[in-house]
């Protein structure tokens, strides 16, 4: 959306917002990023429309497939694929934190 002002370094581009919509819908963004994306979406009618469509799609899928649970391995592969797509299409960097728990056999 063009506002007639100079872009601020914290402004979100449409391509970023659209690439991260599902991260936003799944609440997988940091609180700061969530606020940035929501502000952009509220101020940008095309992005707001896309957000609404994606939100409705997610709700429909939940209603139709809500009782089924995917195996954890599938979820991990899907999440990795989504992150790669977001990084590639949105020209953004996603911060990742990895935690490993190991149990010592005594």
Q: Is 100 helix (H, G, I), strand (E, B) or coil?
A: coil
Who has greater pLDDT, 102 or 1? 102
| Domain around 50 | 11-90
Residue 77 is assigned to a structural domain of this protein: yes
Residue 105 is assigned to a structural domain of this protein: no
Percent above pLDDT 90 for the chain = 13
pLDDT band at 7 (very low <50, low <70, confident <90, very high): very low
pLDDT tens digit sequence for 58-103: 888 878 876 667 788 888 888 888 777 777 766 655 565 555 656 6
Give how many domains the chain has, as a whole number: 1
Residue 62 is assigned to a structural domain of this protein: yes
Residue 97 is assigned to a structural domain of this protein: no
For position 79, what pLDDT does the model report? Answer: 81
Q: Is there a contact between 45 and 1 (Cβ–Cβ < 8 Å)?
A: yes
Residue 32 is assigned to a structural domain of this protein: yes
- pTM beyond 0.75: no
pLDDT band at 43 (very low <50, low <70, confident <90, very high): very high
Residue 96 is assigned to a structural domain of this protein: no
Cα 71 to Cα 19, 45, 95, 101, 105: the distances in Å are 25, 37, 25, 20, 27
Residue 106 is assigned to a structural domain of this protein: no
């Amino acid at each position: 959306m063009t506002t007639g002002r100079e872009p601020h370094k914290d402004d979100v581009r449409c391509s970023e917002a659209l690439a991260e919509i599902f991260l936003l819908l799944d609440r997988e963004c940091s609180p700061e990023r969530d606020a940035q994306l929501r502000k952009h979406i509220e101020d940008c009618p095309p992005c707001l429309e896309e957000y609404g469509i994606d939100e409705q799609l997610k709700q429909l899928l939940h209603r139709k497939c809500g009782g089924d649970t995917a195996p954890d391995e599938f979820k991990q592969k899907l999440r990795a694929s989504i992150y790669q797509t977001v990084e590639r299409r949105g020209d953004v960097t996603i911060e990742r934190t990895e935690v490993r728990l190991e149990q010592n056999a005594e």
